[in-house]
Structure 1
Amino acid sequence: MRGMRLALAAVAAALVPVAALAQASPPPAGASILMWSPEQQQAGYKAMETLAAHEVVKRGPTVFPLPAGAPLDPKLKIAGTPHDIESFMAAYRVSGLLVIKDGKVLLERYGLERTPADRWTSFSVAKSVTSTLVGAAIQDGFIRSLDDPVTTYIPELKGGGYEGVSVRQLITMTSGVKWNEDYTSLDSDVAKVGLSVIEPGVNPVVSYMRRLPRDVPPGSKFHYSTGETDLVGILVSNAVGKPLSQYLSEKIWAPFGMEQDAIWIEDVAGHERGGCCMSMTLRDYGRIGMFILGGGKAGGKQMVPEGWTADATRAHIAVSPAHPEYGGYGYFWWIMPGGDGYEALGIFGQSITTFPKDGLIIVVNSAWPAADTAALNAARGKLTAAIRAAAVR
């Protein structure tokens, strides 16, 4: 259940066929990125800027250094089968694996014909970046408080299910608004949101979301809603008066020292998806982890309020009260059971896993054969555990 919810319908609508890239048969008519073949995944995930409308997140003049540390060679077993890093990456279609401890790179490997210069799509890892921009907007005075009503920043939501919902409730997915995240139904909310301009002059995501009814009282229940993460992206850009890509460049990408421009996929109205689909290099995924672990400072300046990153990466609500093993949820971050680690997660095997007390960051980019399954998540969990055991000895 952790990290597996991501709507791709609006992104898929913007994508051109990738069959030519991979010399594979085209998907069935109307198929989305969720249905790409392994060959199409391998080609498309590192070439999203050629497939969909996007904005560029510009890097700055300097690069945050990631020096080499003592190398790791972890071993693990999955269902009785022994694996080293090479065999695990082959078995689970990993395109990039990066381990940083105390600011030093202990392990950096690439697969699926990816190079260090190749970007890779983030899927829902972008959500954690979007919530960080909420913190930046508070630091800059554009958002007064997390307890402000959402309608202060998206007034078109007044009078609907989001009336009385706070920014805090939106970024912890506790709005109480009814939402269907069923990827198998073309009639689900996640399949329909943002696909067309419903009202001229109103973002199509906002148009769709403001028609949704209230289900439970705000703040009472965690319920994953991809539409709400896109709302947060719109909220931030409305508050700061700038595109998300520009604000991200100004607050993190350039001052922190990312090594390469990133790209951010847009919705059909030309607004960056707050919940999806940035593309960046493996090391820049690691630098996101470093920025959060370091308390949100870039270029010697505090970019988010003091204590923001600690608050964002603690559990504000249980994912499922009946299943404590699912952990908790922060500000678009998944919190591990026991609270000793937190993760930014995206489908098909994208993750930034951080153990703050160990100074340890583990980045995985993949092209899993399924968006998310218990077995695939368990395998990545065993890899993470093996790496942590080897790194913290």
Structure 2
Amino acid sequence: MIMKNRLQPFIDRVEREQLPVEGILWANGEEILFEHRFRPDNPRIIYSHTKSFTATAAAFAIQEGKLHLDDQIVPMFPEHVPDNMDPKWMDVTVQDALTMSSGTNVPLLMMAERSKGIGAPDFLKFVFSHPIEKEPGSTFCYSNGDTYMVGRAAEKAMGMPMEKLLAEKLFAPLGMDVNPVWEHCPMGHAFGASGLELRLSDMCRLGMLYLNEGMWKGQRILNEEWVREARKARISTNPAPKAHDWNNGYGFQCWKMPYGDSYRFDGAYCQFSCICPEKNAVIAVQCAENDLTSVIINTLHEVVFAPLYAE
């Protein structure tokens, strides 16, 4: 009932202003405490929230010692190296890609490009064909190309498709659908930067796992060290190309929030899992495709997060 009361102002605002929210829930690291549905909880595309799952795939490879943050990416894929590749690509590491700082300094493989077939058939070769404009690790530039490299590196290190890797090591232990829909690149690999389809009640479980420092119902799933490192503001995003909500720094495929140690797994049109360690809370929301993202975000800040962190 307490959690219902905390979310009721948001629910009332959504209903009054007819905002395109599909559902919102409040959880801790163990269970969903309250969920309100405006529409049935069906699997839906979670857009860039997919990135947090791809980062977690890399985490499994890292904690098994098969991948390292300072591993160079290009040497893993010699068959995808284009002619006349910028030699500075040899300096790009897994950590650079995780923090959107490969140095290409241009967004690659974004939705508008992919819909036109740009980058096909070989996404890796397409990414590697771009010059490195900034020193790797120095400058944030939000790019699906960086995330795609992370996913391919995790697959290569673990010797299995990302779908299988996450089904076995994450989805099954967390009680999620083990066979969700993925977007795939033209070569058949999980795209990893977008395109995963999940119910809100499944999507939020990754945030619950991270809130609980990698533990799930007494079982260690992720190393605690990974969780703590992933959520740090590892690179500046200020000034970001969007509103203030993206100006608080970026971790390993997650956005810092302007409240304490909080951070967010973030997909377009407000597919959010907001992890608030100081408050032992995960607040997750899914929304229909809309042009009201800033309104929904501002409403969440005004009636949910600001009151929560004022306590």
Which range, TM-score by smaller chain?
0.7 to 0.9
The structure 2 residue matched to 1:327, chosen from 248, 258, 283, is 248
Residue 270 of structure 2 contacts residue 293 of structure 2 at CA under 8 Å; is this kept in 1? Answer: no
**Residue 205 of structure 2 corresponds to which residue in structure 1?**
287
**Residue 115 of structure 1 corresponds to which residue in structure 2?**
40
**Residue 256 of structure 1 corresponds to which residue in structure 2?**
174
Give how far 1:298 is off: 4.5
Count residues in correspondence.
303
Q: Which amino acid aligns with 1:264?
A: W
Q: CA 1:284–1:387 in 2, change beyond 3 Å: closer, same or farther?
A: farther
TM-score (norm 1): 0.69
Instruction: Kindly indicate whether residue 11 of structure 2 is the aligned counterpart of residue 85 of structure 1.
Output: yes
Residue 29 of structure 2 contacts residue 212 of structure 2 at CA under 8 Å; is this kept in 1? Answer: no
Q: CA 1:205–1:100 in 2, change beyond 3 Å: closer, same or farther?
A: same
Give how far 1:318 is off: 1.1
**Residue 73 of structure 2 corresponds to which residue in structure 1?**
150
Q: Which amino acid aligns with 1:384?
A: V
**Residue 64 of structure 1 corresponds to which residue in structure 2?**
none
Matches within 5 A, 1:76-225: 85-88=11-14, 91-101=18-28, 103-111=30-38, 114-116=39-41, 118-143=42-67, 145-155=68-78, 156-157=80-81, 159-160=85-86, 162-180=89-107, 195-197=119-121, 204-225=122-143
Q: CA 1:339–1:151 in 2, change beyond 3 Å: closer, same or farther?
A: farther
Q: CA 1:71–1:353 in 2, change beyond 3 Å: closer, same or farther?
A: closer
Write 1 or 2 for the structure with the bigger share of helix: 2
Structure 2 residue matching 1:352: 3-state secondary structure:
strand
Residue 263 of structure 1 contacts residue 279 of structure 1 at CA under 8 Å; is this kept in 2? Answer: yes
Whole-Å separation in 2 of the counterparts to 1:384 and 1:367: 20
Give how far 1:351 is off: 0.3
Residue 28 of structure 2 contacts residue 211 of structure 2 at CA under 8 Å; is this kept in 1? Answer: no
Whole-Å separation in 2 of the counterparts to 1:260 and 1:251: 10
Give how far 1:255 is off: 1.6
Whole-Å separation in 1 of the counterparts to 2:178 and 2:156: 26
Q: CA 1:383–1:244 in 2, change beyond 3 Å: closer, same or farther?
A: farther
Whole-Å separation in 2 of the counterparts to 1:297 and 1:238: 26
TM-score (norm 2): 0.86
Structure 1 residue matching 2:90: 3-state secondary structure:
coil
Give how far 1:194 is off: 5.2
Q: CA 1:222–1:193 in 2, change beyond 3 Å: closer, same or farther?
A: farther
Give how far 1:368 is off: 4.1
**Residue 277 of structure 2 corresponds to which residue in structure 1?**
356
**Residue 287 of structure 2 corresponds to which residue in structure 1?**
366
Q: CA 1:386–1:93 in 2, change beyond 3 Å: closer, same or farther?
A: farther
Gaps in structure 1 of 5+ consecutive residues: 1-68, 77-82, 198-203
Q: Which amino acid aligns with 1:120?
A: R
**Residue 264 of structure 2 corresponds to which residue in structure 1?**
343
Q: Which has the larger radius of gyration?
A: 1
CA displacement, residues 2-44 of structure 1 (integer Å, 9 cap, x when unaligned): xxxxxxxxxxxxxxxxxxxxxxxxxxxxxxxxxxxxxxxxxxx
Q: Provide the alpha-carbon RMSD of the alignment.
A: 2.9
Q: CA 1:365–1:137 in 2, change beyond 3 Å: closer, same or farther?
A: same
CA displacement, residues 314-368 of structure 1 (integer Å, 9 cap, x when unaligned): 1001101699871010000101235420001111121000101111000100014
Q: Which amino acid aligns with 2:5?
A: D
Give how far 1:265 is off: 1.8
Structure 2 residue matching 1:329: 3-state secondary structure:
coil
Aligned-residue sequence identity (percent) comes to 28
